Amino acid sequence: MSAMTDFTQELERVAAVATKHAANVDEDARFPQETVDTFLQSGLGGLVSASEFGGKGGTLRDAATVIERLARECGSSAMILAMHYSGVFVIEQYGDEATRRDVANGKHLSTLAFSEAGSRSHFWAPLSTAKADNGHVTLDAKKSWITSANYATAYVWSSQPCAAEGMSTIWLVPREAEGLQSPGPFRGLGLRGNDSTPVSATGVKIPAGNRLGEDGQGFDVMMSNVLPNFSVLNAACSIGLMEAISQNASAHCAGTGYQHLDSKLADLPTIRAYLARMRGKTDMVRSLWLDTISALEAGREDAMLRVLEVKAFAGEESVEVGQLGMRVCGGAAYRKEVGVERRFRDAQAAIIMAPTTDVLYDFIGKAVTGMELFG
Ligand SMILES: Cc1cc2nc3c(=O)[nH]c(=O)nc-3n(C[C@H](O)[C@H](O)[C@H](O)COP(=O)(O)OP(=O)(O)OC[C@H]3O[C@@H](n4cnc5c(N)ncnc54)[C@H](O)[C@@H]3O)c2cc1C
């Protein structure tokens, strides 16, 4: 039985809190603390943690279902929690028992700290350093974006290897470690509650045991663990956003009319055709997303191709659906009355979150022509 079967009620409780605060999280550009606290207290924070440590033993499909549902209500909350699960999948595979217990029991909010000022969206090529030093490791870095930068318990962090060959090594870096600095609050176009700020590390000392995986193995961790999980969860955000935009726009057009003509917006064939495109795009991407999850579960040969596709097309289509929603709802969308403009702004981030759509197009093109992705 899926862990989700037991969690529908908790999920709806978290969704209700997300709904209540979504508009002011966006307007005030503030972290959705109430939603994150409710999420962690509900047990959903430990959804994919092993049951032997108090978690629910859930799967990527379960986590993706949670994120898609929450994204319909609050894009910021959904992305924060998508980053949480993305980090947790790494911690589950490589982390120590105490951290895994904390995650399982809702005492740990995770996130990824991969993007850097020097290598930008090319997350696979960190320039930051890690120097081994008598049982400790000293980290120096300029991380350019970390979701929940000032709220996460610890960061799943990339650096160049200490000594081994390879492109990177992954670490668990406590947010309160001395030498970490984050500038002022996040001010973004969308996902305004995300606290996705830069973080610099100057001589940050962590125990050598905080390494996640082997020295130099970071690229493998990124490709085998982070990329599939993050892509599916990022797509879940995009799908939740476009689902809400499609539903809100359809309801608005069905319920809003021209009194002097005694007709509804939905009586216009042009409007109906746009609504049809929105619905079709949303359903097509949802099918691709579900097929991607099935491909990963079955270890299908096309699983990696699906992973590359799902983030790219979910991101692109959600922005297009948002654009259509802005058009069909007219002035009501330009203001905040139908809840389309916030989600339209939130949807933009997926295109530039690494791997960005354009990098994914390049990877997909390489995959279908038999080339090495990183050749
Ligand atoms: C809301 C939000 C939250 C984020 N949270 C996190 C987080 O928690 N952790 C984290 O590590 N990062 C995070 N990021 C960072 C994200 O993953 C990207 O690294 C970042 O958005 C890329 O921005 P950039 O300006 O550095 O991109 P640049 O690398 O400067 O890219 C600029 C443009 O060049 C294009 N481009 C680059 N290389 C190629 C190529 N080879 N082929 C074709 N086009 C290319 C890109 O697609 C893009 O359109 C977040 C970003 C956002 C917007």
Kindly state the average pLDDT of the residues 325-330.
98
- Give the Å distance between the CA of 251 and the centre of ligand 1: 35
pLDDT at 260 over 50: yes
pLDDT number for residue 133: 86
What integer best gives the mean pLDDT of the chain?
97
pTM to 2 decimal places: 0.98
Among residues 278, 249, 285, 274, the alpha carbon closest in space to that of 68 is found at 285
Question: Model confidence over 149-183: pLDDT tens digits?
Answer: 999 999 999 999 999 999 999 999 999 999 999 98
- Give the Å distance between the CA of 324 and the centre of ligand 1: 25
335 lines ligand 1 (CB under 6 A): no
Kindly state the average pLDDT of the residues 49-71.
97
147 lines ligand 1 (CB under 6 A): yes
121 lines ligand 1 (CB under 6 A): yes
pLDDT at 353 over 50: yes
Rg of the Cα atoms in the chain: 21
pLDDT number for residue 99: 98
114 lines ligand 1 (CB under 6 A): yes
**Nearest CA, atom 31, ligand 1:** 121
pLDDT number for residue 88: 98
Task: State how far the Cα of 271 lies from the Cα of 258, in Å rounded to an integer.
Answer: 14
Q: Are strands 136-146 and 129-133 parallel, antiparallel or unpaired?
A: antiparallel
What is the band of 263 on the pLDDT scale with cuts at 50, 70, 90? very high
pLDDT at 5 over 80: no
pLDDT number for residue 86: 98
171 lines ligand 1 (CB under 6 A): no
285 lines ligand 1 (CB under 6 A): no
CB-CB contact of 294 with 307 (8 Å): no
pLDDT number for residue 1: 45
Domains of the chain by range and CATH? 3-104 (1.10.540.10), 112-216 (2.40.110.10), 219-368 (1.20.140.10)
CB-CB contact of 91 with 103 (8 Å): yes
- Region for 106 from its dihedrals, namely left if φ exceeds 0, alpha if ψ lies in -120 to 50, beta otherwise: left
Ligand 1 closest atom vs CA 147: 8
Q: What are phi and psi of 30, to 5 degrees?
A: -120, 150
pLDDT number for residue 6: 77
pLDDT at 374 over 70: yes
pLDDT number for residue 4: 55
364 lines ligand 1 (CB under 6 A): no
Kindly state the average pLDDT of the residues 122-134.
96
**Nearest CA, atom 38, ligand 1:** 359
- Give the Å distance between the CA of 356 and the centre of ligand 1: 6
- Give the Å distance between the CA of 119 and the centre of ligand 1: 10
145 lines ligand 1 (CB under 6 A): yes
Among residues 242, 261, 154, the alpha carbon closest in space to that of 206 is found at 154
